[in-house]
A and B are shown apart, each in its own frame.
Chain A
Amino acid sequence: MSEQRRYKQLASTRALKKTMTRYYALSSYHRFWGKPLRRPLAWVTSGAPVELLRSFNIHPVYPEQYGAICSTNKATAGLCQVAEAAGYSQDLCSYATSHIGSVMQPALAPMNGLPKPDLLLACNNICGTVLKWYEALARHFNIPLFVVDTPFLPDQLTDHARAYVLEQLKDITASLERLTGRRLDREKLAECVALSNEVVTLWKEIREFCRARPSPLNGPDLFIHMAPIVVLRGTRQAVNYYRILRDEVQKRVEQGVSAIEGEKIRLVWDNIAIWSNLFKFFKMFSERGACFVTDTYTGGWVMELAPGDPMESLATTYTSIFLNRSPEFRARQIIDLVKEYNADGFVMHSNRSCKPYSLVQEVIRKRVMQETGVPGLVVEADMADPRSYAEEPVRNRVQAFLETLS
């Protein structure tokens, strides 16, 4: 952890740890309180309309987030090998395979694996992998799998796509009513949506503070402090936490405190972090005065739920997220970030695990460079599996890139 100290630690990190520890403790002990309180536990994909589950008092747990935890705990390679021995290819998403490994051999996994689910909810707005992954889980546990099929949007969101998603949400609602023996509480749903929106607004504010020069946050800060918006979206705890963080970041800006010593270069990051080497990797940049002032990944959670009927706004928002959009849309997003954050360049993590994120990066890179005139670097790695991280070539590329910028 000595590497971590090179960054100015946010005081909020303590509150973050408390929030996350509490969440995982609650999840681990679900077997004691879940049944008596009639609150089932669901495994949920990161882009699923979790507000619906929360309105039914279902406790959500996130295998993708757990995939990141496995990676920072150096457990991914071992868990992937367990899945590989069972026939799953090493080329598949390492969040999925390490998680499947943790299901097969919990003893090898952090916290002895995630608490067992009563149901599964997958939304394919982020990738096709989640469908196959959750099918495998549904077969393994023999429990209900709910899928929200959010059609990919080559262009704008269409009425018929929205109507299709809405119809599925209604159908899933009816199934959840049967499963929990409760009627949908519309007020509670509206409340969860409102809480989500509050969190999203705070997260947006926090991110926008990084337009300041020097930036109060660096990439790894964003990656670490995104945890609550992933797993506690739609709750009061998340709102409370992000208020603390917002206040601290605001103060940093007011006092001109920078995230890294001597910010000289401002960069935009694209794709999931390289969890297995998070601090080591970003240190290559920070020690040369390069700060990641914003990114597309943690920005993915800036998704305001439109006002109006909550169910409709869930359908609209969750179908429109950036991973469900064309390269054109995604290029536009990075172009805007480069401009709004006054970035000098951008770095794309070509992430072997995540094809929908990564396969289009080269055409996006070209377009962004054309339109903004700033250079973009691609580094090939994997978000979780350290076996796909080759330090030397990465270091050389990064060095060469930063030299052109300074």
Chain B
Amino acid sequence: MSSLDKSFTGCEPLNLLLEEAALNGARREERYPEKTFFGFMCSYMPEELVLAAGMEPLRLLPTSIQGAPAELPAYCCSLAKGNLSLAKSGSFKNLAGVGFAHTCDTMQCLGGIWKEAIDRNNTLFIVPPVILNAPGAARYYYVEAKNLLARLGELAGREPGDEDLQNALELNRKIRGLAKELDELRPQLPSHLVSALLRAGQVMPRREYAATLERVLPFLKQKAAGPGNRHPVLVSGPVLENDSLFGMVEELGGRVVADDTCTGYRHYVEPQIPGTGNDPLKAIISRYIEMPICPSRNRGLETRMDYLERLAKERRARAAIIIVRKYCDPHAWDSVPVAKRLRAAGLQVLVLELEGAEAGGQERTRLQAFLESL
């Protein structure tokens, strides 16, 4: 992570989380030898199912832009290419398996390629509904989740029951609660710090994460300083494997006060869910149905735009940066109506296309000009 103010040094649990964020799951065997990790790539993979089966969900993130794996053409996003390269070089060998939640066309293809070229037996799939509020969608998703749970159980060599699901649900609710507290401190904290802390929760064992974040929050609350004259911005976009962009916003005088990235706060949002009775699986699925949608899902034509406009208003963002990964169709498509809606709401909007998570020289210049114009 790029440089942090001196005042954030000296808090040991904070250092641990920052270290985990920097590692992005590398060295997990040596740090957590007793844990079994299970890889995933998309926030629509219900983490609770992995936890209930006694494994640790690990978000697979590319290290930087990787060499191009022969299985994918040049016109494919760097997330898919990077992760496939890592898999081919053996970085994920010790995972119990990898689960693909069907999202975009690219992920759909990557799942199939993974099964063909990396691991025939331990590549699992869950295909959530695309139209989340379609009639029958919840019932369908429930069966998909149940089937995946059974497969995860086979992988882990145990049969997860309701109690395991309930425990996993409670753990994740706790994490989401803590993430919310952190997210609310955003205006007062360095943008790249918050981004790193949220990503840490996707690449390390969850109980350890919850306990550590809980210890960090009081420290952060104490350190939280007013954003001064920084420009409050909203960032919306895909998976970001590092904090480079958030750091750059900060360097150039901005502050990310609202975050809608796959690896950021969108991953943790806990929506208000009407009663789901005492069926933990149903409660788990309901959360994934109700959470803020990504561009590859639909829950009404304007749901996503409404959410982003509300988020921008609540956090008093004056500008929005919409990030599109090169060759990412869903985010590229949505950048048009999102930009339009946020502009209509009075925000300045920059659509920034990045090869990976890193903003290069040209993007930096654009970002700088944008932030200076505010």
Contacts and interface: CB of A to CB of B under 8 A. Distances in A.
Given A149-B130, A151-B127, A170-B135, 14 more contacts: A92-B329, A92-B333, A129-B105, A135-B301, A151-B130, A151-B140, A154-B115, A163-B136, A327-B112, A327-B116, A355-B109, A359-B106, A362-B71, A380-B74
A72 interface: no
A328 B116 contact: yes
B127 A164 contact: no
Contacts of A161: 127, 140
A165 B105 CA distance: 19
B75 A363 contact: no
B354 to A, nearest CB: 13
B177 interface: no
Contacts of B332: 88-89, 91-92
Interface in A32-65: none
Interface in A124-159: 124, 127-129, 131-133, 135-136, 138-139, 145, 147, 149, 151-155, 158
Given A88-B336, A132-B295, A167-B135, A380 B73 contact: yes
Contacts of B109: 327, 355-356, 359-360
B329 A136 contact: no
A81 interface: no
A124 B100 CA distance: 18
A363 B116 CA distance: 7
Q: What 8 pairs across the A-B complex have the smallest Cβ distances?
A: A167-B136, A132-B333, A359-B109, A164-B140, A160-B143, A327-B112, A154-B125, A356-B105
Nearest to B340: A87
Interface in B86-124: 100, 102, 104-106, 108-113, 115-117
Contacts of A124: 130
Interface residues of A, number: 51
B102 A171 contact: no
A74 interface: no
Interface residues of B, number: 53
Interface string A352-380: 10011011111100010000000000001
A162 to B, nearest CB: 10
A350 interface: yes
Nearest to B144: A160
Given A152-B102, A168-B136, A87 B116 contact: no
Contact of A355 (B74, B102, B329): B329
A355 B105 contact: yes
A327 B327 contact: no
Contacts of A89: 324, 332, 335, 353
A358 B117 contact: no
B298 A147 contact: yes
A314 B333 CA distance: 29
A331 to B, nearest CB: 8
A352 B137 contact: no
A129 B335 CA distance: 14
Interface string B61-99: 000000000111111100010000000000000000000
B336 A359 contact: no
A129 B130 contact: no
